[in-house]
A and B are shown apart, each in its own frame.
Chain A
Amino acid sequence: MSTSRKILVVDDDPVVGKSFDRVLSGKGYAVITAQNGEEALHKLANENYDAVFTDIKMPGMSGIEVAQKIKAAKPWLPVVIVTGYSTDAYRAAAEAAGVSGFLQKPLSPEMIAGSAEKAMHEADATPAPAATMPQLAEAADVTAAGDAQPASRAKNIALFLAAPFIGLVYVMAMPFVAAGMLAWFAAKALAAKVPADVKKFAMLIGGPLLGLGFILALPLVGIGALGYYAVKSARKE
């Protein structure tokens, strides 16, 4: 078995991912976990996997939806449903989406190993064509927006209205950040060239200035920290 076989396990229960890892890592598989459908789609959009094992009931997107989206974007990728409560309706929906199989919880090491091997055979039989990641990224994008809760909608509106002011702060900060970056790169370039005694002299001058900078920044950092904790405690209440 090649060490390059990658399996994505999607389950909000981390124990499931750990079980897969315990059984499969010794057999040459790399097990990567995702705690929800959205995270899984993002991972699939950015990396290639050889098979996906997904739970059905998860916060946000269900495993069936995850399977449908994966199959729509990467029809060759084996998707196995792992579930503790498989109804006929779930089975019908999953089969319609084109999943490769079902694993009924509780899982035994034999079940995990056997299912992974079966999925690998299927993956080998149907190789992936190139250039499909953007489609999956879009699917993940669209899903994330579609699943927006009312709280996140309110947050989005607040951010939308705050956006120009944040933009203004960025615009005003930009020259300073650029100057800072230039100074940093210049200092790095100089540090590589200047002799040790010049460095010592620079430290002698720069040290106190740096200290002064810290002293001046301290009240601002303190006020910022106070504000942060005040907002945090207000949110908790």
Chain B
Amino acid sequence: MHKLFVHPLPVRVWHWINALGFVVMIATGIQIRYIGLIDLVSFKPAVEVHNAVGFVLIANFFGWFLFYLFSDKIRVYLPELSPAKHFAASFRQLKFYGYGIFKGQPNPHHVSVYHKFNALQSMTYQIVMLLLVPIQCFTGVLLWDVERFQSAITLAGGLRVVDTVHVLVFIFFAGFIFIHPYLASLGHTWSAHFKAMITGYEEVEDE
């Protein structure tokens, strides 16, 4: 087992701000969307906290985006252009998650500095970080001030469309927030990946 520096400081800072922010956004989002069903706080403070944390997360996203855009770590998020390689690696990984992991088989993905994600993670994070998060930020800003962004809302298909998209992505993220820690606990010990996201060093098995 040797240590590999995989998560630079900006990524770790972004990650933990994002994690905390997502929990707050999901909690306040549920409160705003399903008022009456859940009454943790009253409506107005929920909206105010949701808006404030939303802007923090937008700034945080831009920090993440610029870091990857202008550093050599951009390679972490580059797609696999060979479908054959991508699907072969994806099914190998699925087989591991569905079967191999319960049999104590080794993870078919070997982490390296520029390949920290396996094929499934890579595909998921590309969609989440470069499509769903921007969509959520954009629709969130439109919903933050409906009057000011009336023309943009109309262009996007109306308030109902913008709201539906925002809620659907919110449902996806709410699911993601449960799946993500579970998958993060599948390292060689349950806490290995959590520690790595604090120290920056992943413990990688020697080949």
Binding site for B on A (CB under 8 A): 130-131, 133-135, 137-138, 141-142, 144-146, 148, 156-157, 159-168, 170-171, 173-174, 177-178, 181
Given contacts A134-B204, A164-B127, contact A173 B68 (CB under 8 A): no
Using CB atoms, name the residue of chain B closest to A157.
B69
- For the complex, what is the distance from the CA of A130 to the CA of B112, rounded to whole Å? 19
Beyond the given pairs A141-B115, A170-B90, A177-B87, 20 more chain A to chain B contacts, judged by CB atoms under 8 angstroms and listed by A's residue number, are A130-B206, A133-B207, A134-B110, A135-B2, A138-B112, A138-B113, A141-B113, A148-B72, A156-B75, A157-B74, A159-B78, A160-B77, A163-B77, A163-B78, A163-B130, A164-B131, A167-B127, A170-B83, A173-B87, A178-B91
Could you list 24 examples of A-B contacts with CB < 8 Å?
Answer: A130-B206, A131-B206, A134-B112, A138-B4, A138-B113, A141-B112, A141-B113, A145-B113, A159-B78, A159-B81, A160-B69, A161-B130, A163-B79, A163-B130, A166-B81, A167-B79, A167-B131, A168-B127, A168-B131, A170-B83, A170-B86, A170-B90, A170-B123, A171-B123
Contacts of B130 in A (CB 8 A): 160-161, 163-164
Which residues does chain B contribute within 8 Å of A181, judged by CB atoms?
Answer: 91
Given A145-B114, A160-B130, A181-B91, A131 contacting B207 (CB threshold 8 A): yes
Q: Residue on B with the closest CB to A153? A: B74
B61–chain A nearest beta-carbon distance, Å: 14
Decide: B127 and A160 in contact? CB cutoff 8 A.
no
Q: Roughly how many angstroms separate A159 CA and B4 CA in the complex, as a whole number? A: 26
Residues of B within 8 A of A (CB): 2, 4, 68-69, 72, 74-75, 77-79, 81, 83, 86-87, 90-91, 110, 112-115, 122-124, 126-127, 129-131, 204, 206-207
Complex Cα distance, B4 from A167, in Å, reads: 27
A162, B206: Cβ atoms under 8 Å?
no
Which of A144, A146, A163 has the most chain B CB atoms inside 10 A of its CB? A163
- B122 nearest in chain A by CB position: A167
A157–B79 Cα gap in the complex (Å)? Answer: 11
Whole-angstrom CA separation of A168 from B135 in the bound complex: 14
Interchain CA distance A145-B8 in the complex, whole Å: 15
Rounded to whole Å, the gap between the CB of A224 and the closest CB of chain B is 13
B207 touching A163, Cβ below 8 Å:
no
Chain B residue contacts of A161, Cβ below 8 A: 130
Contact status A141-B68, CB under 8 Å: no
A160 touches B78 (CB 8 A): yes
| Residues on B with beta carbons closer than 8 Å to the beta carbon of A142 | 113
Complexed CA–CA distance, A135 and B1 (Å)? 11
Residues of A within 8 A of B78 (CB): 156, 159-160, 163
**For A130, what are the chain B residues with a Cβ–Cβ distance below 8 Å?**
206
Contact call A167/B83, Cβ cutoff below 8 A: no
User: A137–B112 contact, CB under 8 A?
Assistant: yes
The CA-CA distance from A177 to B87 in the complex, in Å, is 8
Complex Cα–Cα for A142 and B123 (A): 22
| Inter-chain contacts of A162 with B (CB < 8 A) | 79
Q: Which residues of B contact A170 (CB under 8 A)?
A: 83, 86-87, 90, 123
A174 near B112: Cβ-Cβ < 8 Å: no
In the complex the two chains form, what is the Cα distance from A130 to B114 in whole Å?
24
- Measured in the bound complex, the distance between the Cα atoms of B110 and A148 in whole Å is 23
